[in-house]
Structure 1
Amino acid sequence: MPRGRGVLRALAGLREGEAPLALAQLRGGQSFARGVVVSKIKNARTMLRRNHAAAEPAVLSELDQLARKAAEAPSLASLLGLEGTAARAYFGAFPGMLKGPDEVRGAFDLEGRNRRPPRDPVNALLSLAYALLAKDLAVTLGTVGLDPLLGFYHQPRFGRPALALDLMEELRPIVADSVVVAAINNGVIAPDDFQRHGDAVALRPAGRKKFLMAYERRMDQLVTHPVFGYRISYRRVLEVQARLLARVLLGEVGAYPSFRTR
């Protein structure tokens, strides 16, 4: 989307007091991209450390090193490359987080991340979880006066909630991926909940309903916020992080406080 149209969209129909925030969003915010990618990599490492049956030290070490490099990435292109390398390492180890009988784990096997369309059950669940989280973040960003279409890490494109995708990066492992792992390991979703159409795999309606309920339960789960130290739901985390980003853009906070779990 051309930047001029983005300006018009961002400023059109704003409530009183929101214009300064919209202008601040258009001027800056790119510096927080490194922070959310670092947090995404670190949160992915935490997911493996907590849930993998026997996470390889080499993989955990690689993720540590990639997070350190991402913190000093000199350009958006280099940051994208580091994130891609980290994702391959993480999803290469992802099956080790799935538990249960061999026949069940075999049904949920995957060969890395694939999408558009997802070609296996795990990727079908991941794609759905990411879509749900992006939707919730887009709504939340709008309520705090930020335009969800104007991103900094994900470049603006017509109809794409780029800023929601930016803010979602650090939450993917600990919210969306966690829902997928728990739904499989707890037997909420079974292999027969899926159907195949050509190369694409998708949930049947009954399976989709069960997964939506699992997602909502995760969003209602309490977690200690790493900055403020009090317990809030993951749904509330979305709002807190959006408001923190708004304060950064307005110059009220020096740097975006990323959300990381230990």
Structure 2
Amino acid sequence: MLRRNAREDVANVLPNLTALARQASDCSSTAELLGVEGTAARLYFARFTDMLRPEARTTFAAAGPLQRTRRPPLDPLNCLLSYCYALLSKDLTATCYSVGLDPYIGLYHHPRFGRPALALDLMEEFRPLLAESVVIALINNGEIAESDFVRRGIGVALTDAGRRTVLRAYERRLSTEIRHPEFGYTISYRRALEVQVRLFAAYLLGEVPAYVPFRTR
């Protein structure tokens, strides 16, 4: 994402992210993996606003490097990210049900009441491809503006018009067709969600030797 979209020099952070990706493969516990993930997330989101066009940063990056806030999001950029993550989580929850998996029993995300832990696990590989890409496109194409947000207490929320704008962009992204990196055929991102969930189910049943995450070039 940073290599493809950054408008500033991000070369100094890429080796650190590469090293953390390799370190993640060697983790021996969930706690260790979460620690690596947390470090990588901080490095990545600190440079997230470098992917925005300079004139949009006044509205969406006025406070400088992005710090993730949620429940409630404290600024428009965090609001957009949280909303798109919620849409993606909803779609993967529904996909898990359609495949016959319980979306509330996960591996890395701890199950708790009302939390679709498995859907949250499976959405990790799609966060940048579907949620973050939509946010960047909305801002850089000028589709979303400061008037699409409203402040409620200390948090920021989308207006009804703003939500409709995000939904249109998200659905447009889901309909985008790409070549599946594992099978080589053309597929929409919407269909890719189902394919990955079915692959995961096949892995659980011992029908395939490993689960291969969805990764584009």
Query: What TM-score comes out, normalization by structure 2 length?
Result: 0.96
Q: Distance in 2 between matches of 1:233 and 1:154?
A: 27
Instruction: Report the secondary structure of 2:157's partner residue.
Output: strand
Q: Distance in 2 between matches of 1:161 and 1:258?
A: 19
> In the alignment, what sits opposite 2:158?
203
Cα-Cα RMSD? 0.9
Aligned partner (choices 121, 124, 129) of residue 169 of structure 1: 124
Counterpart check, 1:115 vs 2:92: no
Q: Distance in 2 between matches of 1:232 and 1:256?
A: 19
How far 1:248 moved relative to its partner?
A: 0.2
1:137 partner amino acid: L
Percent same amino acid at aligned positions? 60
Counterpart check, 1:106 vs 2:58: yes
Q: Distance in 2 between matches of 1:58 and 1:124?
A: 28
Q: Distance in 2 between matches of 1:55 and 1:85?
A: 20
How far 1:105 moved relative to its partner?
A: 1.5
How far 1:100 moved relative to its partner?
A: 4.7
Following TM superposition, the consecutive aligned residue runs of length 4 or more in structure 1 with deviations greater than 2 angstroms are none
> In the alignment, what sits opposite 2:176?
221
> In the alignment, what sits opposite 1:158?
113
Query: What TM-score comes out, normalization by structure 1 length?
Result: 0.80
Unaligned runs of 5+ in 2: none
> In the alignment, what sits opposite 1:80?
34
How far 1:261 moved relative to its partner?
A: 1.4
> In the alignment, what sits opposite 2:147?
192
Q: 1:255 to 1:55 in 2, by over 3 A?
A: farther
Instruction: Report the secondary structure of 1:196's partner residue.
Output: strand
Contact 1:152–1:162, Cα closer than 8 Å, also in 2 = yes
Unaligned runs of 5+ in 1: 1-46
Q: Distance in 2 between matches of 1:127 and 1:107?
A: 17
Instruction: Report the count of equivalent residues.
Output: 214
Aligned partner (choices 251, 254, 259) of residue 206 of structure 2: 251
Contact 2:2–2:10, Cα closer than 8 Å, also in 1 = no
